[in-house]
């Protein structure tokens, strides 16, 4: 299988997983997304094994690292801002926003904590004495 | 600002017109990485630089040049 064919299969599998998970959530079947995602992951593994070329290398990882870092930075900032806005609105009288505000705030704090401990871990792993 | 140029494209043609796919397979990387290297859009790790040099049977400095 060529790399371009692999990309096509990957897109199809991702679409199927997305449709499956969103349909399960919309239908109110909370346990269905797990087997759907697991089946999708298994399908991706099978497809990846049949590719002749190397599909993941150091450049792929570097791109993923940078994209992940950017997603975290913007995600945490936007989440914190949204939480602050919702909580301010809740304090102003619209109490229906309070729960969502707190969930966003704690999620943003958890993200920052996960980043902090991951940073410490990799800093020790890669040496340097920091 | 320092830059690193490379002669990968030239070396490929000098080695029986090696394709990007062949070089990628022998250097354990993707064809997209070879394309990015030849366009000077990506700096390889030391390990990949050595692997590429080894494919061509030359030293790393013959493949990559550091420009001040």
Q: Closest CB to A59: pick one of B25, B33, B47.
A: B33
* CB-CB under 8 Å, A3 with B33: no
**Residues in chain B within 8 Å Cβ distance of A55:** 30
Q: Do B48 and A58 touch (CB under 8 A)?
A: yes
Task: Report residue B18 as tokens.
Answer: 């090696």
User: How many Å lie between the alpha carbon of A126 and the closest alpha carbon of chain B?
Assistant: 15
Q: What is the pLDDT of residues A13-26, one digit of tens each?
A: 999 999 988 888 88
Residue pLDDT, tens place only, A43-83 = 988 888 888 777 789 999 999 999 999 999 999 999 999 99
Q: How large is the average pLDDT for residues B29-41?
A: 94
Q: With cut-offs at 50, 70 and 90, classify the pLDDT of residue A129.
A: low
Chain A interface mutation, best of B8, B33, B36, highest count of A Cβ atoms under 10 Å: B33
Distance in angstroms (rounded) separating the CA atoms of residues A82 and A91:
14
**Angle made by CA atoms A84, A85, A87, in degrees to the nearest 5:** 65
* pTM exceeding 0.80: no
**Distance of alpha carbon A5 from its chain centroid, rounded?**
25
């Amino acid at each position: 299988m060529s790399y371009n064919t692999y990309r096509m299969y990957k897109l199809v599998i991702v679409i199927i997983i997305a449709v499956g998970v969103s349909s399960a959530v919309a239908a109110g079947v909370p346990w269905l997304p797990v087997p759907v995602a697991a089946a999708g992951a298994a399908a991706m593994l099978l497809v990846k094994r049949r590719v002749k070329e190397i599909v993941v290398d150091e450049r792929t990882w570097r791109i993923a690292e940078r994209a992940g870092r950017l997603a975290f930075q913007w995600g945490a900032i936007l989440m914190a801002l949204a939480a602050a806005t919702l909580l301010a609105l809740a304090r102003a009288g619209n109490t229906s926003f309070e729960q969502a505000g707190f969930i966003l705030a704690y999620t943003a704090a958890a993200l920052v904590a996960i980043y902090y401990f991951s940073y410490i871990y990799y800093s020790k792993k890669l040496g340097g004495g920091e | 600002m320092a830059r690193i140029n490379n002669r990968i494209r030239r070396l490929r043609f000098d080695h029986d017109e090696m394709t990007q796919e062949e070089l990628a397979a022998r250097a354990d990387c993707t064809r997209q990485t070879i394309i990015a290297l030849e366009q000077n859009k990506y700096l390889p790790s030391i390990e990949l630089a050595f692997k590429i040099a080894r494919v061509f049977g030359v030293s790393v400095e013959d493949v990559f040049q550091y420009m001040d």
